[in-house]
Each structure stands twice: as structure tokens, then as C-alpha cells.
Amino acid sequence: MRNVLLFNDMNSVAALDPKIALHALSQTASAIVFLDEEKRVVFHNEAAAKILGFQGVSTVGATVDSIFPTSSLVEFNNYLDKYRGPLTDLSPTEFSRDFEVTRHDGSTFWANATFSRIVYDSHVYFTILVRDVTKRQKIESDLASKNEQINKLTAQIEKFLYSTSHDLRSPLTSILGLVNLMRMESLDDSFEEYTAKIEASAMKLDGIIKNIMSFSKATYQRRKSQKIDLELLAHRVLNAHHSDANYKKIFFEVVANSQYPFYSDPERMEIILNNIISNAIHFYDPNKVRSFVRININVSAVDVLIEIIDNGLGIGHQHHNQIFSMFYKATLNSSGAGLGLYIVKESLEQLKGSVKMESELGFGSVFRVRVPNDHKGQLISRKLKLQHN
């Protein structure tokens, strides 16, 4: 912005040798136009004639609209009218906009023009600095178009995942219902074995479909902000796993310290808790005398820290760096698709939260989840703090 600074400091200009000042103005690559208080051109450099397309046209004494044939002049004229009268504030004032300029030959280009008011010897003048930003405008336009395409594609993917997962679950639920009806009949051992295999396969597929649904919600669903009772949510997630094979073999404990209200996205918080707890149940250690899963919840005014601790099988150190990757399985005994912890990470990214894991093979795991309290929760917490003080 050296050109603008040069014009804003008229004392510096006056101190220069007139030939040097004129040469400097003529050589600059940006278009510079100098207006008087009546919005008439008193000077312009060669770059202005070239960029604005009025070479060979007499412009000195002409009004500004004769060299800027553009609809954006309404804004510029309002600016000029506002600052050309008697002034009490003599500090430099600028007005800058991007707009499309039509040259005298009919061609167009995108320009960035900065209008600056200056006061010299009790007179008001205006400088206009113009740059051709056509390339920048094209890049921005292309980016906007690509963003629109990405948003459209994202919406299509979200709709596809939602529709497909629900369409798949419907016949799967029917299959599981038929398996239960078959078991009510008097069947021989071999038939019971087959129905058990059908049920196990159907349950595995159902788990994968549920993961796809969770992934769709975590990644594409618009974020909500509601007050969440995290202790109640933790118990609800645990109850949802009541029919899991290992559930009755584990002691569960929820310890909550919630002095402040917590606001966040309830569905994503449920997805986070569900996937970590599901892993803790699935990978419990049958050799332990007393298997446990402990959930500690500590809500502060600014965030919540949730610790999910288990003494299950644990995760080997060689897997720690990849455990949150898509489709990654730390053991061949996993019946899932390797999406659970990846979905946890995606959900937390949407909530601007974080997760850290500590695990030792044979000793169990600790997952520490930290999620910011949304703005409303923080405001209410501040009020509660003030009341207590």
C-alpha cells in the first residue's frame, strides 16, 4: 500500500523534488487518479489510462464517472459526497471495494479500488488506487463453485448413507425376528446350531450398518447444541448393551461430578460414549477375577472430561498410533468393521474435542475424552459462579 501512503502524506509529497514525485507516480504499475473536491480529475498516471482504457481521451477536468463507467459508482459517490464537505476530523479515511469495470472500448475487468480522502492546505482531495484483480476474482469464483459442488456431493452422500442403512436394517430386523420364531419351535440340535449361525451373521451385519449410520451422523449431520445430562446419557448407553454377550460378566460404575450445566451435540456425545463403551464390553478379559468398566464424568464451566476405564484385554503398543484410523483392527478376533474409534475421532473433531488413550496389553485401557462446553453452557456457568461468590 505504499502508493496510498504516499498520497495520504501530502507534506512528504511537497518535500519531494516535483520531477521525482511525478516520475514515481508515472512509473508505478497501479492506476492512480487524483480528484478535487468537486470529484473532477486533476491528475492520473499512465497506468490509469492503460488499466481503465482511456488512452488518448482527455480526462483532466472530467468527472469521476467518465473514467469509471460502473454501477458501483453509487457507493463511491456516496463516499465522496460524505467526505468532501467541511471537515473536523482531518485523519485519512479510506473506502475499498472490488467491482467490475467497463472500459471505454466495452471490455470489462475486475478491479479493486481504494478511495482515500486527504486534506492539504485547507482543501479536500481524493486519491483512487486501482488494481486489476481479475485473476483473483476468477480463482475465488472457481473456489466458490467447487465448494458448492462439494456441498452438493456431501448432501448426496449423507442421503445415500441414511437411506441405504435404513433400507438394509429393515429386512435384517425381519430375519432376526424369524430366527426367534424358529427357536420357539421344537428343533433338533443341528437346526439350533444353524439358527445360531444365522443370528450371529445377522447381528454382525446389523453392527456394521449401525456403524455406517453413526458415521453418517458424526460426519454429515448438522451440529446441535442442547443441555445434556451426561450421567443419564452414560446409563442409557450402558442399558442399550444389556443384551450383549459379555454384559453380565462386567461390573459397571458411573461417577459424575456435574456442578455446571453442559451443552453440546447430544447425538454425537452418545455416539462417542457408545463406541468406546462397546469396545470395553466386547474386549473384556475372561481371565480377570472381576472385570469392570468405570466411567468418570467431570463437568467444568469450560469443558467436560470423561474417562472410560476398563481392565479388559488392552491394546498393544504397536497399535496405538493407528487405533483411530478407518477400518483398523488391533486384533483378528474383532467382529466389527474397524470403524468404532474412527467414528469417535470424527465426532470429536466436529465438536472441537479430543481423545487420548492409554492401554497395556493384558491390563486394560483408559480413554480420556475432552469436549468444550458450548457458549450457552459457559455463560450459564459464569452466572452460577457469580451467584456462589
* 309 contacts 251 by C-beta, under 8 angstroms: no
CA dist., res. 383 & res. 385, Å (int):
5
Residue scoring higher pLDDT (86 or 135): 135
- Does the structure show a pLDDT above 60 at 15? no
Residue scoring higher pLDDT (352 or 210): 352
Q: Which residues pair with 111 in a beta bridge?
A: 99, 132
Give the up-direction half-sphere exposure of residue 287: CA atoms within 13 A in the CB hemisphere: 5
- What is the greatest pairwise CA distance in the chain? 111
* 241 contacts 367 by C-beta, under 8 angstroms: no
Mean pLDDT of 115-135: 83
Mean pLDDT of 58-74: 70
Query: Who's near 289: CB < 8 A, 6+ residues apart?
Result: none
- Does the structure show a pLDDT above 70 at 247? yes
Pairing of strands 250-258, 123-132: unpaired
In the chain, the percentage of residues whose pLDDT exceeds 90 is: 26
Mean pLDDT of 101-124: 80
CA dist., res. 68 & res. 58, Å (int):
14
pLDDT band of 3, cuts 50, 70, 90: very low
| pLDDT (0 to 100) of residue 332 | 60
CA dist., res. 58 & res. 37, Å (int):
19
Mean pLDDT of 117-136: 83
Mean pLDDT of 162-171: 70
Retrieve residue 45's grid coordinates: 498516471
| pLDDT (0 to 100) of residue 7 | 39
**95 φ/ψ angles, rounded to the nearest 5 degrees:** -145, 125
pLDDT band of 251, cuts 50, 70, 90: very high
Q: Which residue has the cell 459526497?
A: 81
> Which parts of 179-272 are beta strand (E)?
226-227, 250-258, 263-264
- Does the structure show a pLDDT above 60 at 367? yes
* 378 contacts 302 by C-beta, under 8 angstroms: yes
Residue scoring higher pLDDT (114 or 23): 114
**Of 288, 293, 289, whose CA–CA distance to 276 is shortest?**
293
Q: Which domains does the chain have, with CATH numbers?
A: 10-134 (3.30.450.20), 224-388 (3.30.565.10)
* 127 contacts 7 by C-beta, under 8 angstroms: yes
Q: Which residue has the cell 436394517?
A: 169
| pLDDT (0 to 100) of residue 334 | 63
**Of 238, 310, 245, whose CA–CA distance to 274 is shortest?**
238
Query: Who's near 53: CB < 8 A, 6+ residues apart?
Result: 103, 104, 105, 107
> Which parts of the chain are beta strand (E)?
31-35, 41-44, 93-102, 108-120, 123-132, 226-227, 250-258, 263-264, 291-299, 303-310, 354-360, 364-372
CA dist., res. 47 & res. 101, Å (int):
15
pLDDT band of 338, cuts 50, 70, 90: confident
**197 φ/ψ angles, rounded to the nearest 5 degrees:** -70, -40
CA dist., res. 344 & res. 325, Å (int):
10
Residue 4 CB neighbours (<10 A):
20
| pLDDT (0 to 100) of residue 250 | 95
pTM of the predicted model as reported, rounded to 2 decimal places: 0.54
CA dist., res. 358 & res. 340, Å (int):
17
Q: For the CA atoms of the chain, what is the radius of gyration?
A: 35
- Does the structure show a pLDDT above 90 at 371? yes
Mean pLDDT of 358-379: 91
- Cα dist from 94 to 36, 115, 117, whole Å: 16, 6, 7
Residue 100 CB neighbours (<10 A):
13
Mean pLDDT, rounded, of the chain = 80
In the chain, the percentage of residues whose pLDDT exceeds 70 is: 80
Mean pLDDT of 29-43: 84
Mean pLDDT of 172-191: 72
Q: Hey, what amino acid is at 26?
A: S
> Which parts of 199-321 are beta strand (E)?
226-227, 250-258, 263-264, 291-299, 303-310
| pLDDT (0 to 100) of residue 70 | 60
pLDDT band of 310, cuts 50, 70, 90: very high
